[in-house]
Amino acid sequence: MKRYMVIKTFMSLASGILIAVWLYILGVDYPILWGFLAFLLNYIPNIGSIVAAIPAVILAVVQLGFGSALLVAAGYIVVNFVEGNVIEPRLMGRKLGLSTLVVFLSLIFWGGLLGFVGAILSIPLTMTLKFAFENSESTRWIAVLLGSEKMDEKSVPISNKKKD
């Protein structure tokens, strides 16, 4: 859990800084506020960054016109696409042992079950389940299904390990 929060905090911080710098360059008012909002809402997987972009794009339309608003939206899209689809899934998969598909499906499941709070807590809840499944021989196979593509010897079910 601690590892997840550290990775997510650094990724959210990078996203917030990049958004704030982009909005400052474009001349949108309150770029630090929008960067901070992007930082906070980036903790919600997949949809948080979209929600964070809406007020900044609306302000850009009002303040600077449609052309600049499109540039603001493009900046959010580029930052969040690269971070959310390239960098973060690789880091999460390597450091936490969850597959990218499981990360996405956990957002849908926990968000549907618990609403907004479930969306925020989807990865920590899934990690907790994975750890619980790893500690029992009868449920270890579920932990393997939740795991990333690379499995270490600890993740392999007992029945498949070599007998000494």
- Per the prediction, the chain carries an average pLDDT of 82
Q: What is the mean pLDDT of residues 131-142?
A: 86
Does the pLDDT value for residue 46 go beyond 60? yes
Q: What is the mean pLDDT of residues 92-108?
A: 76
Q: Kindly state the percentage of the chain with pLDDT values over 90.
A: 35
C-beta atoms surrounding 120 within 10 Å = 19
Domain parsing of the chain, residue ranges: 2-96, 98-164
